[in-house]
Each structure stands twice: as C-alpha cells, then as structure tokens.
Amino acid sequence: MLVDPRTLAIANRYPRLRVPRRELTRALAILDRHAARFRGGCPPGELSLVFLTDTALARLHADFLADPTTTDVITFEGDAAVGLAGEVCVSVDTAARYARAHRRDFATELTLYVVHGWLHLAGYDDLEPVKKRAMRRAEARALQLIATVGVPPFHI
C-alpha cells in the first residue's frame, strides 16, 4: 500500500483523445489504496501512462518485443532505485475498435487497458490460460473498485 500519492506522468500522443487527468489519477489512487487485493499492487514510484495510435504501439512492440503486430497494451517495468514504478503504453485505436465491435463503452475499455498494465506491474501475467483467468478476475475486481469513483470519461 502506498503511503504517499502516486505521481503520474501522462503522455497523450493520440490525436483527438481527451485525457481526464483528475479522474484517471483518482481511479489509480483507488487501486493503490487496495493494493493488498492485487498481489501488493503496482510498485511504488512514478507511473508513466502513454496513450498511442496502433502504429506507434506496433513500433514499440517490434522494437522491444520483436513482434511488429498491433497490440492493446505494453507494460515496461520501472526501476525502484530511481523511483519509477513502470510505464504502461496503450493503444487508443485498439480500444476504440474493440469497444465498437463489442458494443462496449470506449471509456471503460480504455480504462481496462490502463488497469491491465497496472496489474502487469503488480505481477500478473496473461500468457498462459490459468494466469490469464487470474488476470481477468483481477481486472473485473479493479474495474468494480474504480466504478465507485466513476470511470474516467475518456473521449475521442
């Protein structure tokens, strides 16, 4: 559990996306306060959130994971020694496309991607079926907690 409020570094590299910084900060603070429910939560330190296009995230995917395909979220671990929790890079295009295709709310879908990255930093993995089910359950719990303060109203 974090004693001090987490510092968020938010980089919006997506044209037309409006990032509700105050609400996003509040949502992540809720998760930090309930970190014990999520394997101790995201490590302490500054958390960097980057909102990108599919093209930009695919470039990162290729450069750092040798996979040039589009993906939804890429998470980079931080360095506690210098006060960095990690960085979560999300594709706004993928969130919008998935939300449309599945008739879901865009703001909730994009918030889910941020939560997904936060959970990766908390030690969750989703590459194996059993671990993926644990990740999905944690995502659902996290979104329920966030709903108590309201999903950040992202707009494109």
Residue 79 annotated as lining a ligand binding site: no
Is the entire prediction scored with pTM above 0.75?
yes
How many structural domains compose the chain? 1
Q: Is 34 annotated as a binding residue?
A: no
- What's 138's domain CATH number? 3.40.390.30
Does 105 show up as a binding residue in the annotation? no
Q: Report yes or no on 154 lying in a domain.
A: no
Q: Does 27 reside within a domain?
A: yes
Report d(CA 111, CA 120) in Å as an integer. Answer: 14
Is 7 within 8 Å of 43 (Cβ atoms)? no
Residues ≥6 apart with Cβ < 8 Å to 141: 37, 38
Residue 123 lies in a domain: yes
State pLDDT tens for residues 59-107.
999 999 999 999 999 999 999 899 999 999 999 999 999 999 999 999 9
On whether the CB atoms of residues 73 and 116 are closer than 8 A, the answer is yes
- Residue 69 is assigned to a structural domain of this protein: yes
**Does residue 155 sit within a domain?**
no
Host domain of residue 55:
8-147
- Asked whether residue 57 is domain-assigned, the answer is yes
CB atoms within 10 A of CB 29: 15
Coil/strand/helix, residue 153 = coil
